[in-house]
Amino acid sequence: MNDPRIGQFAEVLVDYSTRVKKGDVVLISAAGLEAMPLVKELYSLCLARGAKYVEYSFSVPEIDRKFYDCANKQQLNHFPQHKLDFYKTLTVYIGISAGNNSMVMANARQDAMVAYQKLTRPLVDQRVKHTRWVVTRYPTHAAAQEARMSLDEYEDYLFSACCIDWKAESRKQDKLKKLMDAAKQVRIVAPDTDLRFSIEGLPGIKCDGRLNMPDGEVFSAPVRNSVQGHISYNCPSIYQGKEYNGVRFDFKDGRIVKASAGSDMTASLNKILDTDDGARYIGEFAIGVNPGIRQPMRNILFDEKIFGSIHFTPGQAYDECDNGNRSAVHWDLVKILSDGEIWFDGDLIQKNGRFVHRNLLELNPA
């Protein structure tokens, strides 16, 4: 794809998101060979910005599946120490997903995937805690098909959601962060959804293009044992290669005590939630605010940023807003509130997908 927007996209990732500078050690990690045009642009830019070493790697999901299907117990238990040793030298990590089949893992051995996810968690922790990192997507025919778009439409959608004035968006998010910081009690009301929980003492964190691209959310986390009520999610979610629709959770004292999903996926859903004790508690509550993302694309990096949505995430909490929940799972499940409400301490913040609080009106798309 010879598109000048790829160069613009690379500049956002290198100059804004990861702020590559002289002396950096950079890893550009692409899942899928179709990301080659973006990798080339990123590689050149990182060198031009003075990085002392830039490594790039390509993985192929179809080969990764062979590991999950064929690996024996000894192989599943072998920790790739050489990777962790290299990760400890990194200052910048840029991850790109460009797979040609989102369902490649649909029938892979789920127990092997869960076990290896647990084993390799230190790699994720090292990257998240000790590098300036960003993860993104590259437009492919497969991704466009998943989003029910032509490739041209998908490219337009992706670049319009990513190549925006992130400094201006960051300033707009400041006011929502301030309200979140001050809030104690949150209530979410929508069809088949009535949630109540506390975020007292847990900060609002802006997601303004530094870590994910596209970005555009402000998140916090519930006090671990405070969540009461129920929620029905209305966006499809692809997790570990399987699609989940109609996911519904009932909570008591923070714990998911009942979980169901459509299309006979309830057993599979509960297996994920039984990965460990923390998988049945919520590690993140977030409000999506990207003005360029308005519809589900069956891709969580986009869907969790949908303007007028929330995600309420079972599993691991982030260090920046740590409610103490620990899990190998972190599953962003999205609900669009086009017919719902968000309340902070009895004050209506958002109604039917648009902010109504006087301090947040400029966040609404034109």
As a whole number of angstroms, the distance between CA 2 and CA 92 comes to 26
Please write the tens of the pLDDT for every residue from 31-41: 999 999 999 99
Does the bond joining 365 to the residue before it have cis omega, within 30 degrees of 0?
no
Q: Look at strands 237-239 and 242-244 and give their pairing.
A: antiparallel
Same domain? 158 vs 173 = no
317: pLDDT strictly greater than 70: yes
147: pLDDT strictly greater than 90: no
CATH number at residue 23: 3.40.1830.10
Question: Considering 109, 135, 162, which residue would you say is the last residue of a domain?
Answer: 162
Please write the tens of the pLDDT for every residue from 168-212: 999 999 999 999 999 999 999 999 999 999 999 999 999 999 999
Same domain? 203 vs 131 = no
Provide CB contacts within 8 A for 258, sequence distance 6+.
Answer: 249, 250
Same domain? 215 vs 96 = no
Contact call for residues 257 and 285 (beta carbons, < 8 A): no
Q: Quick one: average pLDDT of 229-248?
A: 94
Question: Considering 97, 132, 162, which residue would you say is the last residue of a domain?
Answer: 162
User: What pLDDT is stored for residue 42 in this prediction?
Assistant: 98
Q: DSSP readout, 325-366?
A: ---S-B---EEE-TT-EEEETTEEEEETTEE-SGGGGGGS--
Same domain? 61 vs 207 = no
Please write the tens of the pLDDT for every residue from 91-121: 999 999 998 887 788 888 988 998 998 999 9
Same domain? 112 vs 175 = no
Same domain? 181 vs 53 = no
Residue tagged 């947040």 (tokens): 360
Same domain? 155 vs 172 = no
User: What pLDDT is stored for residue 1 in this prediction?
Assistant: 53
Same domain? 148 vs 185 = no
Domain containing 34: what range? 4-162
Same domain? 139 vs 47 = yes
Same domain? 174 vs 59 = no
Same domain? 302 vs 227 = yes
Report the chain's mean pLDDT, rounded to a whole number.
95
User: What pLDDT is stored for residue 246 in this prediction?
Assistant: 96
Q: Which H helix or E strand runs over 288?
A: strand 282-288
Burial category of 347 from C-beta neighbours within 10 Å (exposed 0-12, middle 13-18, buried 19 and up): exposed
Please write the tens of the pLDDT for every residue from 45-70: 999 999 999 999 999 988 999 999 99
Q: How far is CA 217 from CA 64, 84, 300, in A?
A: 31, 30, 13
Number of domains in the chain: 2
Q: What is the pTM of this model?
A: 0.80
- For residue 146, what pLDDT band results from cuts at 50, 70 and 90? confident
72: pLDDT strictly greater than 80: yes
Residue tagged 């039917």 (tokens): 352
Provide CB contacts within 8 A for 362, sequence distance 6+.
Answer: 172, 175
Question: Considering 115, 145, 162, which residue would you say is the last residue of a domain?
Answer: 162
Same domain? 251 vs 316 = yes
As a whole number of angstroms, the distance between CA 57 and CA 59 comes to 7
Q: Quick one: average pLDDT of 322-344?
A: 97
Q: Quick one: average pLDDT of 122-132?
A: 94
